[in-house]
Amino acid sequence: MVRYGMYIDMNRCIGCFGCALACKQENFTPPGMWWSRVHVTETGEFPNTTIVNTPLQCNHCDNPPCVTVCPTGASYKRADGIVVLDQDKCIGCKYCIQACPYGVRSYLSKIAPYNPQYGFDPYEKYGYDKHQEGVVEKCIFCTHRIDEAANNGLKPGVDRAATPACVITCVAYARVFGDLDDPNSEVSKMIAKNGARPLKPEFGTKPKIYYAGLPQEA
């Protein structure tokens, strides 16, 4: 068995938003829907200030409250630890949005083209079939890449074709993906080496995204 997670080095992140854009391109998310985002804050006092870039997405918690509150079983955790959502079972009640302490779930009320005056382009017509109106969406660690690659003998976190789009697009090499239960995996080694820690551990959700360089107050 495996338990997939991610390491993010905030000391390396340059705030280019490449991860967010790669996610949109890979998953065909409609306007206003961001499964991956970067929260930019400023610390210190002028003129001695510092910009802090905090990449955010679903933390794929080991103890996900979104799964607990879901009345239909639409939100669930796979055997590999990835938290996903069955759109056909989602009734849009938004309980999971309220339960998530990280604010990384979004409600898709309407699917619209990016350029309304031209209508849906071929890219949108192809990709938007993967989405439904009136449901909740979020990061899925690019499970389609992981599942397809597994059938071809590729290893997630090692082979690019089996790794989330946000990881392989990062120009600063700030992200590592892999099996948290394998002490020899790169993700496990980076977490241990740099003392990475998750966001808001006090909520007891046991998130599986670990940050290096995370401010102490975070």
Structure tokens at 110: 């309407």
pLDDT in tens, 126-181: 999 999 999 999 999 999 999 987 777 888 888 888 899 999 999 999 999 999 99
User: Which residue, chain included where needed, has tokens 């996903």?
Assistant: 84
The residue that leads in pLDDT, 47 or 169, is 169
Structure tokens at 57: 């997405």
Determine phi and psi for 47, rounding to 5 degrees.
Answer: -95, 5
The residue that leads in pLDDT, 102 or 45, is 102
Cα 47 to the chain's mean position, in Å? Answer: 34
Pairing of strands 4-9, 209-212: parallel
CB 64 within 8 A of CB 205: yes
Predicted local confidence at residue 185, as pLDDT: 95
The reported pTM is 0.92
Predicted local confidence at residue 20, as pLDDT: 97
In three-state form (DSSP H/G/I as H, E/B as E, the rest C), the secondary structure along the chain is CCCEEEEEECCCCCCCCHHHHHHHHHHCCCCCCCCCEEEEEEEEECCEEEEEEEEECCCCCCCCHHHHHCCCCCEEECCCCCEEECCCCCCCCCHHHHHCCCCCCEEECCCCCCCCCCCCCHHHHHHHHHCCCCEEECCCCCHHHHHHHHHCCCCCCCCHHHCCHHHHCCCCCCEEEEECCCCCCHHHHHHHHHCCECCCHHHCCCCCEEEECCCCCC
pLDDT in tens, 18-36: 999 999 999 999 999 999 9
Q: Which fold has domain 4-212?
A: Alpha-Beta Plaits (3.30.70)
pLDDT in tens, 194-216: 999 999 999 999 999 999 998 76
CB 149 within 8 A of CB 161: yes
Residue 87 CB: number of other CB atoms within 10 A?
17
- Output the average pLDDT for the chain: 94
Where are the domains positioned within the chain? Answer: 4-212
